[in-house]
Amino acid sequence: MGINEKFKEKNTVISFEIFPPKETSSLNTVYNTVDALAHLHPDYISVTYGAGGTSKNKTVEISSIIKNKYNIDSLAHLTCISSCKNEIDEILFNLQENNINNVLALRGDIPHDVVFSIPNPIEFNYSSDLISYVKSKGDFCVAAACYPEGHLDSPTKESDWENLQYKINLGTDFLISQLFFENKYFYQLNDHLKEKGINTPLQAGIMPITNKAQINKIISLCGAKLPKRYENIINKFGDSPQALQDAGIAYATEQIIDLLANGVDGIHIYTMNKPEIAKQIVRNISSVVNSINNIY
């Protein structure tokens, strides 16, 4: 079953995102994470794809464990800017061989810290090229990324949202948003899509910030604005790891409860491979999610 079917069955869908370990770490670390997250009964778990290093080979392997050992749907991320068609074909074949038919089709970014070759000429310029390619290759459920505050490469938020509409028209089955710290940006995107008559399910991406070192890196990579009240939390508790963790979890919980109260199609939690944080958030929101999904 494609993950898109879950949005028809449930009023709101809850998922987690994990990433493969760095080349130097053992896969066991991520399997412990998967094991802990599986106990929280998410609707699916997504696995990121690192275009440059060998971790790209681990995405299929980890997605397969999630699907075939834990019987939880997995969503394999796949980027295309640095790949040729043969590589994409091989990955899609491996996914099918492993019973995985959910792909998050992304352009990706050209990493600056890894030496690797880029096809010349580039075979996939945008995620839209990959979306239609994956769709042409079999019975895949294809998700795409979207940006409530606009993508960093786009001159305006509006032009990015026009490109998003093109991605949707190609048959994107559901959307996952970039992380954001102010729900108003997500609601603006949601309203924009509804005004255009688009009903493609849209999941809100939420990242609990629990570590001071993360913040600047994340913000520079994704361009999300940090509101003053979050800045205050970081300034006040940044040097007290437990306090910052508790405050980050409370902030993310508040964001999620507000989104759920406003009828969001789903929440995608960027877990940063920290199951204990996902666990606390799930505990905080479970009665609300159960009530929305009529589970008593």
With respect to ligand FAD, which residue has the nearer C-beta, 21 or 108? 108
Of 105-144, which residues contact ligand FAD (CB under 6 A)?
A: 106-109, 126-128
Decide: helix, strand or coil at residue 207: coil
Residue 100 is classified by DSSP as -
Q: Which stretch binds ligand FAD (CB under 6 A): 161-169, 188-196, 257-265, 284-292?
A: 161-169
Report if residue 160 touches ligand FAD, rule: CB under 6 A: yes
CB-CB contact of 141 with 101 (8 Å): yes
Q: How far is the CB of 51 from ligand FAD (least distance, A)?
A: 5
CB-CB contact of 140 with 102 (8 Å): yes
Of 58-77, which residues contact ligand FAD (CB under 6 A)?
A: 77
Q: How far is the CB of 295 from ligand FAD (least distance, A)?
A: 26
With respect to ligand FAD, which residue has the nearer C-beta, 142 or 233? 142
Active-site residue (options: 17, 23, 87, 254): 17
Token reading at 176 = 């996952």
With respect to ligand FAD, which residue has the nearer C-beta, 48 or 245? 48
Report if residue 165 touches ligand FAD, rule: CB under 6 A: no
Reference 7, options 294, 296, 293; nearest CA is 293
Q: Which of 4, 154, 284, 286 binds ligand FAD (CB under 6 A)?
A: 154
Q: Which of 12, 33, 48, 74 binds ligand FAD (CB under 6 A)?
A: 48
With respect to ligand FAD, which residue has the nearer C-beta, 49 or 186? 49
Calpha distance 112→160 (Å, rounded): 24
Q: Which stretch binds ligand FAD (CB under 6 A): 2-10, 146-154, 231-239, 276-284?
A: 146-154
Residue 100's Cβ-count burial label (10 Å; 0-12, 13-18, 19+) is buried
Cis ω on the peptide bond leading into residue 227 (within 30° of 0)? no
Q: Which of 18, 176, 207, 260 binds ligand FAD (CB under 6 A)?
A: 176
Residue 5 catalytic?
A: no
With respect to ligand FAD, which residue has the nearer C-beta, 76 or 247? 76
Q: How far is the CB of 142 from ligand FAD (least distance, A)?
A: 11
Calpha distance 179→284 (Å, rounded): 19
Residue 52's Cβ-count burial label (10 Å; 0-12, 13-18, 19+) is middle
Of 195-234, which residues contact ligand FAD (CB under 6 A)?
A: 205
CA–centroid distance for 210 within its chain: 18
Token reading at 139 = 């019975």
Report if residue 21 touches ligand FAD, rule: CB under 6 A: no
With respect to ligand FAD, which residue has the nearer C-beta, 131 or 233? 131
How far CA 14 is from CA of 31, 134, 220, 227, 241, in Å, comes to 20, 24, 27, 25, 27
Pairing of strands 202-206, 174-177: parallel
List, in order, residues 6 or more apart from 267 with CB less than 8 Å away: 12, 13, 14, 15, 203, 204, 206, 256, 259, 260, 285
Q: Which residues bind ligand FAD (CB under 6 A)?
A: 48-49, 51, 77, 79, 106-109, 126-128, 145, 151, 153-154, 160, 163, 166-167, 176, 178, 205
Residues assigned a catalytic role: 17
